[in-house]
Amino acid sequence: METSTDGAAGPSAVAAVPPESLSPSRASDFMQCPLLYRFRVIDKLPEKPSEAATRGTLVHAVLERLFDVPAAERTAPRAKALVPGQWDRLRESRPQLEELFVDDPDGERLARWLTEAEQLVDRWFALEDPTRLEPAERELFVEAELDSGLKLRGIIDRVDVAPTGEVRIVDYKTGKAPRPEYAEGALFQMKFYALVVWRLKRVVPRRLQLVYLGSGDVLTYDPVLADLERVERKLLALWEAIRLATETGDWRPRPTKLCGWCDHQAFCPEFGGTPPPYPLPVSRAGEQPAGEPAPDGSQPPVRVAESGETEQGRMGPD
């Protein structure tokens, strides 16, 4: 599971830099809405913490920590007992999470929220038996560089390795399983991780497994090398689109039903907003990319987009 920047809404003081790598979450952002990708990766606009995303982070932490104890002690009561302590640790590491329940003086909403987290943890035991699992890795950061130079990175919730050497990649989801027609989109993240593992170890994972704690479903897929090669081609095309948008400053909004949950409506043209001034040098069609010499060896002029320019977004869907 990956998380985005938390905090109060508003422009960030963090210096903007061109993107250098791609993760499953950021790839999904660009496919969902290029302007959202820009807001998160280049402008680094802060986002308010949400109860749902924070609950997911909490549940992930509990499931990770449970494997610290001997197999026989990995019981549902033991796991649920970890919830309060992991919540305290989470608040200590991310003070901004305090604002989630600032308007809950009696603690009723917080108590209900913690109970919901415990229920998700409890449901996991109906889907997997942790007393029979000994993960090779938990919350594993992986990074691989493709032949093109594109860096892929992410964090895998769990990696299981069988005595025969077969690899299973597992990801916990605290939401509900998607309908069958949307399963391919759900598997994109897992195939991304499988590609990275293959590039690092030259081993195609035997199984990809999504554990949906919200609905009590388990979605599995057994990839083959051709799957990973297709994902790599897709990511290369996606990265080329990101590179072009970075150079031109042309990040177009793509309205969907998900816009209602976006923290950046105040900056989005689709909602009457204006994006912040583009913080990177841009080049126009036919110009050399900023920082690259022209064929005659001369350096092209660098022009920075000014506030109020409209090329970085437009009104209406594609």
Q: What is the pLDDT of residues 284-297, one digit of tens each?
A: 654 544 444 443 44
Pairing of strands 207-212, 167-173: parallel
Closest Cα partner for 117 from 129, 128, 109, 106? 109
How far is 45 from 13, CA to CA, in rounded Å?
9
Quote the pTM value.
0.83
Banded pLDDT at 146 (limits 50, 70, 90) = very high
Closest Cα partner for 190 from 157, 233, 141, 148? 157
How far is 285 from 5, CA to CA, in rounded Å?
33
Name 159's bridge partners: 137, 169
Closest Cα partner for 222 from 259, 286, 163, 168? 168
Give mean pLDDT, residues 93-103.
94
- Reported as a single tens digit per residue, the pLDDT across 45-86 is 999 999 999 999 999 999 999 999 999 999 999 999 999 999
Distances (CA, A) of 2 to 60, 75, 154, 252, 276: 11, 26, 8, 24, 25
Give mean pLDDT, residues 147-171.
96
Yes or no: say if 192 and 231 are a contact pair by the CB < 8 Å rule.
Answer: yes
SS3 letters for the chain?
CCCCCCCCCCCCCCCCCCCCEECHHHHHHHHHCHHHHHHHHHCCCCCCCCHHHHHHHHHHHHHHHHCCCCHHHCCHHHHHHHHHHHHHHHHHHCHHHHHHHCCCCCCHHHHHHHHHHHHHHHHHHHHCCHHHCCCCEEEEEEEEECCCCCEEEEEEEEEEECCCCCEEEEEEECCCCCCHHHHHHHHHHHHHHHHHHHHHHCCCCCEEEEEECCCCEEEEECCCHHHHHHHHHHHHHHHHHHHHHHHHCCCCCCCCHHHHHCCCHHHCHHHCCCCCCCCCEECCCCCCCCCCCCCCCCCCCCEECCCCCCCCCCCCCC
Name 80's bridge partners: none
Treating both helix axes as pointing N-terminal to C-terminal, what angle do 225-248 and 24-32 enclose, rounded to 10 degrees? 60
* Highest mean pLDDT of the ranges 167-176, 184-193, 295-304: 167-176
- Reported as a single tens digit per residue, the pLDDT across 215-226 is 999 999 999 999
How far is 242 from 247, CA to CA, in rounded Å?
9
How many CA atoms, within 13 angstroms, populate the side-chain half-sphere of residue 221? 22
- Reported as a single tens digit per residue, the pLDDT across 108-124 is 999 999 999 999 999 99
Has residue 172 got a pLDDT over 70?
yes
Has residue 305 got a pLDDT over 60?
no
